[in-house]
Amino acid sequence: MSQVMAPPWLDVLDETIAACVTHRRPDLEARLREKRAQQLDPKLRVLVVGESKQGKSQLVNALLNAPVCAVGDDITTTVPTFVQHADTPSAALVRNASARGSIFHTPTERIAVPIEQVTKQVSTARSQHVVRAEIGIPRALLDSGLVLIDTPGVGDTRSAHTASTFATLMQADAALLVSDATGELTSAEMTLLKKVMEACPNVTVVVTKIDLVPSWRTVVERNKALLARAGVPAKLIPVSSALRLRAAKTGDQRLNNESGFPELLACVQRDIVASADLLARRAVAVVASSAISQLVTPLREELTAHDSSRTAATISTLQEAQRRVDELRRRSARWQNVLNDEMADLISDVEYDLRDRTRKILREVDKTYDEADPAIGWDKFEQWLEDNLNEAATTNFAWLMERAEWVAAKVAKNFPVYREDLIPGSVLPDDLLEPVGRLEKPKIEPFSIPQKLFTGLRGSYGGVLMFGLVTSLAGMPLINVISLGAGALFGGKSILDESDQRLKRRQAAAKAAAQRHVDDFFMKFSKDVRDSGRHIQRSLRNHFSTLAEEFQETLLESARSAKRAVQDDQTERERRLREGRKELDKLVTLYKRVQALGGPAMELSA
């Protein structure tokens, strides 16, 4: 990978990083930038991965013909071990200051250790702060920049070790997945293989320990069938690390061939060392495809969803505003009907109440002047009548005010939102009551003494004449004691009868005068009541009409605002759809370029 001329995959990777920045995915941006820096590094990192006790460390030792990794039944690799070329053998432990450190952090401390002690250091519990071990040895296999990475067993109960393996996987250019020949690939190993290929597509399956299993060829064939059924395009090479190391000691070429390592080394040289550019393109294709897929998914969901929740909320607001406008219009007709009906009832009830009160006063007048003489105490009677009429007017007026307030409250409750301030303060005219003229005093004729005398003489004349004629039959003169006594008696009765007649006429005149006055009062005040009722009705109608117009204007403005919001939302949504569609087309085009690098085929379309 030349640093003078940029490799063909670099532009695609840079565009994918720019897309991550555009779509605000700093996590994907950081991962791609890390992959970019790694791919520009001339070193080729080959990760040796697999479950525990599968012979990973022994495989590395056999490849290099050197005991660089710890092996044994009671020894387990706890941190990744990087084995690379060095002119002289050397070893170091890389530590972080914090126990939470990872291999991606800048190392804070690098401690050189004797190479013969490094295997012991990375296989003990004291390596908890060590994030990796680095070993350098002079080997021709490593001279081209190849770095073999031995990793802790995946599936170890100590999850930190498993996590460090997967973290190291992100740095790998190729991987060797190790599984021994004692059994075919397990479901856990198949899952691990697929997960490894998601991050590093350049994977070779190595079946180890074939020297211990006579039927290893059957296991190899079954494993090939499993890989074919799973659609995993990975090579499978059977090897024996023990035979390889024994052949290296004895120089036995036939034994070396039986170990299977010549084929594995040829695969490493051909498919990894000599195919560095292809590995880089495949690795970039995988990581870029994954990043683009994660960018496309939410973008496609947004294009499908169209911001439905926000649109639904905006439309719901518009519908609610329109509903409230319709409700106000419907209630406007209702409150007008309520006002008309209630005011008609109010005027009728108040007028009836006034009529009842005046009739009671007239009955009291009749009762009074059935016995009393209007000529005596007329001024007192006049004051009593005025007081009673004023009391009737005041009570009737108070009831009118009370009922008017009740009507106003009832009308206000027919508005969509009831508040106390909807009720007007006062709706009565200032000059409601005007005084009625004073009671007209009836004409009372005096019964003077001459009139009494004349009435007595006229009455006595008949008595004298009648009794004088009767007594003349008895030989008595026309004017005698009896006829005079009868005349006096008839004269007195005439005076009394005339006095009673005059009293009855005075009483009738007083009653008539009182009747006329009460009728005048009733006509005047009932008209005032009707006028006041109409004034109240007009005032309430004007007041509530103004309120209804204000409410309607407010609701209409709310509806207009909601409608504008729906239109703005529609415009904004269409703009986002256009931009989203444009961004999706860019991502699809970029993905096609990624596919051309040699990544796995994925279905992405606009």
Query: Is 515 or 418 the better-scoring residue by pLDDT?
Result: 515
Query: Is 535 or 165 the better-scoring residue by pLDDT?
Result: 535
Q: Is the pLDDT score of 151 beyond 70?
A: yes
For the domain that residue 173 is a member of, what is the CATH number? 3.40.50.300
Residue 32 lies in a domain: no
pLDDT at 125: 44
The two structure tokens encoding residue 578? 């256009």
Residues 270 and 315 in one domain: no
Rounded to two decimals, what is the model's pTM? 0.55
Residues 530 and 417 in one domain: yes
Q: Is the pLDDT score of 206 beyond 90?
A: yes
As a whole-number percent, the residues of the chain with pLDDT over 70 amount to 75
Question: Which residues form the domain of 451?
Answer: 310-595
Band (124; pLDDT cuts 50, 70, 90): low
What is d(CA 522, CA 357) in angstroms, rounded to the nearest whole number? 10
User: At which of 252, 274, 296 does a domain end?
Assistant: 274
Q: Per the structure, how many domains does the chain have?
A: 2
Q: How far apart are the first and last CA of the chain?
A: 34
The Cβ of residue 64 has, within 10 Å, a number of other Cβ atoms equal to: 18
Residues 362 and 243 in one domain: no
Q: CA 149 from chain center: how many Å?
A: 53
Residue 14 lies in a domain: no
Q: Is the pLDDT score of 207 beyond 90?
A: yes
Band (459; pLDDT cuts 50, 70, 90): low
User: At which of 274, 296, 319 does a domain end?
Assistant: 274
Residues 331 and 187 in one domain: no
Mean model confidence pLDDT for the chain: 78
What are the tens digits of pLDDT across the range 402-456?
A: 888 888 888 877 766 555 555 565 555 555 555 555 666 666 666 556 765 666 6
Residue 283 lies in a domain: no
Radius of gyration of the chain (CA): 61
pLDDT at 105: 46
Residues 223 and 325 in one domain: no
Q: Is the pLDDT score of 150 beyond 70?
A: yes
Residue 38 lies in a domain: no
Residue 530 lies in a domain: yes
pLDDT at 519: 85
The two structure tokens encoding residue 150? 């031995």
pLDDT, average across residues 138-144: 87
What are the tens digits of pLDDT across the range 377-395?
A: 777 888 888 888 888 888 8
Residues 237 and 347 in one domain: no
pLDDT at 222: 93
How many residues are recorded in the chain? 606
Lowest-confidence region among 45-54, 496-505, 576-585: 496-505
What are the tens digits of pLDDT across the range 265-322?
A: 998 888 888 777 777 777 788 877 788 888 888 877 777 765 555 566 666 776 777 7
Residues 182 and 130 in one domain: yes
Residues 267 and 315 in one domain: no
Lowest-confidence region among 4-8, 29-33, 248-252, 538-542: 4-8
Secondary structure of residue 135 in the 3-state scheme: strand
Residue 602 lies in a domain: no
Pairing of strands 130-137, 90-95: antiparallel
What are the tens digits of pLDDT across the range 159-203?
A: 555 666 777 777 788 899 999 999 898 988 898 888 888 778 888
pLDDT, average across residues 506-513: 81
Contact 272, 146 (CB under 8 A): yes
What are the tens digits of pLDDT across the range 588-599?
A: 887 888 777 764
Q: Is the pLDDT score of 257 beyond 70?
A: yes
The two structure tokens encoding residue 440? 């007209």
Residues 267 and 323 in one domain: no
Contact partners, residue 464, CB within 8 Å, separation at least 6: 479, 483, 484, 486, 487, 490
Residue 393 lies in a domain: yes
Residues 134 and 247 in one domain: yes
Lowest-confidence region among 378-392, 488-502, 558-572: 488-502
Largest distance between two CA atoms of the chain: 208
pLDDT at 530: 86
User: At which of 220, 252, 274 does a domain end?
Assistant: 274
Place of tokens 């307030």: 405
Q: Is the pLDDT score of 221 beyond 50?
A: yes
Residues 333 and 206 in one domain: no
Residues 336 and 201 in one domain: no
Lowest-confidence region among 133-142, 387-396, 550-559: 550-559
Look at phi and psi of residue 451 and say left if phi exceeds 0, alpha if psi is from -120 to 50, else beta: alpha
Residue 12 lies in a domain: no
Query: Is 308 or 492 the better-scoring residue by pLDDT?
Result: 492
Torsion sign over Cα 176, 178, 181, 186: negative
Q: Is the pLDDT score of 561 beyond 50?
A: yes
